[in-house]
């Protein structure tokens, strides 16, 4: 391989420093923007899932569904020993197992009312809630009361309640009967997000009594794993293990034919069509619930690619024009090189090498700038009470750039630059040496 | 000394008077007692009569419900729903006419499934008969065929008055734990099977909702409530007044009870 041509190309780049720095800067800027967006979207789904996992106290969830003689479906796990046997048999490990019950309720206080989703946990011993929920008013000691309720700031404002106030909840039992329960506001939490503010936490046994379950029964077993990425394989192995033990299970691979937007919704809809006796279990992951978040990521990624293309269309025009100008500037030089025996292909390669080095240099600078930007942005602490809490990691913006994505962006830039420079390079290569030497341009 | 004859005669007369009085009391007390009690089977029959009053087996029933809802600190809202019922097949179709923002929404019962139609997404999703109709105090079940006798047993009977009317107070207990309200109290006029008031209680025995039925109309020989006032007993001040108009038992085409009908109503 002829190493002289790349060396000349490198030397040529340093001849017009200002022009090439501007061109390389444009390339670096576009790569930096796209890399920042890619880095953000790369961490987006992971942050949203992880934050949700904490709010919902698990990465993998198991729910039991019973069908009554009249065809009504009741959500309840009355005996979980067989589930824990299945987990033990599968050999998989989890960090924590949390029992929870849920109910939709209308909270009423002095003429004001609002709909909330009540989640019942063992509040006193729920470490994950203490880690993630920032209390604005009230104390964690107050949640020891059986009728304690932790409400978000926004909902507290809507109801005009303060810690110590008694609110009435209108809810339904698991069999669909209307019931009433009184709660005492134990604490008011800082709004973490639109979804986070919709979560209201109460004590499991108290909620169970209100929804017609026994104190040791519940509606969902939430398993927290060491790593979010293990969720799907964990759920698959648990599903197989439970199936192997003869338990009835809803198919984990429901298709979204019914127009449902998430695999979890598809699973719920399939329940309406099926008939069974006894308990049938659902095993699903946080990703099954949050698949819509992935659509946001796809949309952001698509937008960043469009931005890259638009930016680069502009830059390509600039590169094509610059190289055409370079070609005219170097006509005599090309003529001399050709007269000295440099072949047409080598002249073309010289131009293309120049373009390639320019693209690679710009792209590399762009990636470095993006990485620097990411590190600086990651240092800013937005706090756990930030409205964008759900997309952050412990109150900090976080970025995750898949290496293949970065390499792909560099490759796109390199190819587009080569395409832009190809036509001026071909024109330069086609020049007759004598004619080039004669030209006065 | 013997008493004078007159005096004897007088004594005889007063004995007759006492005897007559005793006889009157002997008959009057049990009779009055009979009139003031209602046996459980008779009460159960009365509940069945109430169901029959609002159900139209073998016929179709159409009505326009106008619901005016009030919530403390909020503006009054008006909801209008046209209902179509075919009680024999347990079918119904509801079409929301007002408010304008919800116009076109529909509810359909197909067998055991209740479907809610959203004209914006043009999709049907599963719903429940136990849910509230729009943002009112009324539940979907308030507009369907009544099935009190199937769902409840009479637990206790007492007397009372609603306004100027003496009523039987029938305390009903749900037969299963799948009925919306575990306990219901019906205030039924003594002189005819006409419910004037209904109280719905939670599983833990707290009064949740009171419904008053001040106006009735006669349709096909049956007494149908034409005005209902529903009071929320948990959030005091929250209430809905329902007015029923355009009630009819004319035969409806079968297509009325299909998804296509609700979709076409929006096209």
Return the closest-CA partner of residue B150 out of B141, B158, B159: B141
CA A102 to chain centre: 26
pLDDT tens-digit readout, A214-240: 988 999 999 888 877 788 889 999 999
Residue A179 has its nearest CB partner, among B72, B123, B203, at B203
Residue A272 has its nearest CB partner, among B126, B130, B177, at B126
Residue A173: per-residue pLDDT: 92
- DSSP per position, A23-60: HHHHHHHHHHHHHHHHHHHHHHHHHHHHHHHHHHT-SE
Partners of B89 in the β-ladder: none
- ipTM score for this prediction: 0.74
pLDDT tens-digit readout, B120-137: 888 887 777 666 666 666
- Shortest distance between the Cα of B267 and any Cα of chain A, in A, equals 21
Look at residue A210 and give its three-state secondary structure: helix
Q: Tokens 């090309």 map to which residue?
A: A334
Cβ <8 Å between A108 and B234? yes
Residue B5: per-residue pLDDT: 37
Residue A383 has pLDDT above 70, yes or no: no
Residue A112: per-residue pLDDT: 86
A179 shares contact with chain B (CB less than 8 Å)? yes
Residue B7: per-residue pLDDT: 41
Return the closest-CA partner of residue B80 out of B258, B266, B252, B243: B243
Look at residue A303 and give its three-state secondary structure: helix
Residue A182: per-residue pLDDT: 94
B122 shares contact with chain A (CB less than 8 Å)? no
Question: How many Å apart are CA B205 and CA A106, to the nearest integer?
Answer: 18
B178 shares contact with chain A (CB less than 8 Å)? yes
Instruction: Express as a percent the part of chain A with pLDDT over 70.
Output: 88
Query: Which of A295 and B92 is assigned the larger pLDDT?
Result: B92
A72 shares contact with chain B (CB less than 8 Å)? yes
Alpha-helix residue ranges (DSSP H) falling in B59-195: 148-151
Cβ <8 Å between B112 and A71? yes
- Shortest distance between the Cα of A246 and any Cα of chain B, in A, equals 29
Q: For A87-113, what is the mean pLDDT? A: 88
What letter would DSSP give residue B3? P
Residue B73 has its nearest CB partner, among A71, A111, A168, at A111
- Shortest distance between the Cα of B35 and any Cα of chain A, in A, equals 36
Cβ <8 Å between A180 and B208? yes
Structure tokens at A76: 């309840």
Question: How many Å apart are CA A22 and CA A20, to the nearest integer?
Answer: 5
Residue B25 has pLDDT above 60, yes or no: no
**B14-73 residues touching A, CB cutoff 8 A:** 71-73
Cβ <8 Å between B237 and A168? no
Residue B263 has pLDDT above 60, yes or no: yes
pLDDT tens-digit readout, A393-440: 767 788 888 788 888 888 888 888 899 889 888 888 888 887 777 776
Q: Searching chain B, which residue's CA lies closest to the CA of residue A168?
A: B234
Residue B38 has pLDDT above 70, yes or no: yes
- Supply the pTM of this predicted model: 0.68
Q: For A317-341, what is the mean pLDDT? A: 85
Question: How many Å apart are CA A60 and CA A232, to the nearest integer?
Answer: 8
pLDDT tens-digit readout, A251-294: 876 655 544 566 676 767 766 677 788 889 989 888 787 766 66
A180 shares contact with chain B (CB less than 8 Å)? yes
Residue B34 has pLDDT above 50, yes or no: no
pLDDT tens-digit readout, B53-100: 888 888 888 989 898 988 888 888 898 989 898 888 888 888 888 888
- DSSP per position, A96-119: EEEEEEEEEEEEEETTEEEEEEEE
Q: For A87-97, what is the mean pLDDT? A: 86
Instruction: Assign 3-class secondary structure to A323-388.
Output: HHHHHHHCHHHHHHHHHCCCCHHHHHHHHHHHHHHHHHHHHHHHHHHHHHHHHHHHHCECCCCCCC
User: What's the mean pLDDT when you consider all of chain A?
Assistant: 83
User: What is the band of B6 on the pLDDT scale with cuts at 50, 70, 90?
Assistant: very low
Cβ <8 Å between B202 and A180? yes
From the CA atom positions of chain A, what is the Rg in Å? 31
Residue A176 has its nearest CB partner, among B71, B180, B238, at B180
Residue A413: per-residue pLDDT: 86
Return the closest-CA partner of residue A167 out of A202, A204, A141: A202
């Amino acid at each position: 391989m002829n190493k002289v041509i790349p060396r000349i190309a490198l030397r040529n780049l340093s001849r017009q420093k200002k022009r090439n720095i501007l061109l390389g800067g444009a390339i670096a800027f576009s790569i930096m923007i796209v890399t920042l967006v890619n880095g953000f979207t790369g961490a987006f789904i992971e942050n949203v899932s992880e934050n949700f996992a904490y709010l919902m106290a698990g990465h993998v969830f198991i729910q039991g569904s019973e069908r009554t003689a009249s065809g009504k479906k009741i959500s309840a796990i009355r005996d979980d020993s067989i589930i824990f046997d299945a987990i033990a048999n599968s050999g998989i490990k989890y960090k924590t197992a949390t029992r929870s019950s849920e109910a939709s309720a209308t909270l009423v206080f002095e003429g004001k009312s609002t709909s909330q989703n009540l989640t019942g946990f063992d509040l006193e011993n729920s470490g994950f809630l203490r880690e993630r929920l920032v209390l604005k008013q009230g104390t964690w000691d107050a949640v020891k009361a059986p009728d304690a309720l932790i409400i978000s700031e926004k909902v507290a404002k809507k109801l005009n309640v303060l810690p110590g106030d008694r609110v009435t909840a209108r809810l339904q039992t698991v069999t669909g009967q209307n019931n009433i329960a009184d709660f005492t506001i134990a604490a008011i939490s800082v709004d973490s997000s639109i979804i986070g503010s919709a979560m209201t936490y109460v004590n499991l046994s108290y909620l169970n009594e209100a929804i017609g379950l026994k104190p040791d029964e519940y509606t969902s077993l939430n398993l927290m794993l060491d790593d979010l990425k293990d969720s799907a394989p964990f759920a698959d192995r648990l599903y197989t293990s439970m199936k192997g033990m003869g338990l009835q299970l809803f198919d984990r691979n429901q298709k979204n034919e019914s127009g449902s937007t998430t695999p979890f919704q598809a699973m719920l809809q399939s329940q309406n069509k099926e008939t069974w006796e006894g308990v049938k279990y659902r095993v699903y992951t946080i990703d099954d619930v949050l698949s819509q978040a992935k659509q946001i990521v796809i949309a952001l990624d698509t937008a960043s690619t469009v931005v890259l293309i638009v930016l680069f269309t502009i830059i390509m025009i600039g590169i094509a024009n610059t190289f055409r100008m370079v070609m005219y500037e170097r006509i005599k030089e090309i003529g001399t090189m050709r007269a000295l025996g440099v072949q047409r292909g080598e002249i073309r390669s010289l131009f293309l090498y120049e373009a390639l080095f320019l693209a690679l240099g710009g792209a590399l600078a762009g990636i470095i700038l993006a990485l620097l930007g990411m590190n600086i942005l990651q240092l800013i602490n937005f706090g756990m009470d930030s409205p964008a809490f759900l997309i952050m990691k412990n109150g900090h913006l976080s970025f995750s750039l898949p290496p293949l994505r970065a390499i792909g962006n560099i490759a796109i830039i390199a190819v587009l630059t080569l395409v832009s420079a190809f036509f001026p390079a071909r024109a330069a290569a086609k020049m007759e040496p004598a004619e080039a030497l004669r030209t006065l341009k | 000394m013997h008493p004078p004859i007159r005096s004897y005669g007088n004594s005889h007369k007063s004995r007759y008077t006492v005897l007559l009085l005793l006889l009157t009391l002997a008959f009057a007390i049990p009779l009055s007692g009979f009139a003031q009690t209602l046996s459980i089977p008779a009460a159960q029959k009365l509940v069945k009569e109430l169901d029959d009053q609002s159900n139209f087996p073998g016929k179709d029933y159409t009505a326009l419900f106008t619901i005016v809802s009030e919530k403390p600190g909020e503006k009054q809202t008006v909801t209008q729903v046209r209902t179509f019922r075919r009680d024999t097949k347990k079918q119904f179709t509801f079409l929301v006419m007002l408010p304008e923002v919800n116009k076109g929404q529909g509810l359909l019962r197909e067998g055991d499934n209740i479907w809610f139609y959203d004209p914006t997404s043009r999709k049907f999703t599963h719903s429940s008969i136990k849910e509230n109709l729009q943002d009112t105090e009324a539940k979907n079940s308030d507009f369907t065929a009544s099935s009190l006798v199937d769902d409840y047993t009479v637990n206790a009977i007492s007397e009372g008055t609603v306004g100027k009317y003496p009523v039987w107070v029938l305390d009903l207990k749900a037969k299963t734990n799948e009925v919306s309200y575990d306990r219901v109290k019906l205030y039924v006029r003594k002189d005819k099977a006409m419910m004037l008031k209904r109280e719905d209680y939670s599983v833990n025995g707290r009064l949740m909702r009171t419904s008053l039925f001040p106006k009735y109309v006669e349709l096909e020989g049956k007494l149908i409530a034409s005005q209902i006032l529903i009071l929320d007993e948990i959030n005091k001040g929250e209430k809905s007044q329902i007015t029923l108009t355009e009630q009819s038992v004319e035969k409806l085409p079968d297509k009325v009870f299909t998804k296509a009908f609700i979709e076409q109503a929006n096209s």
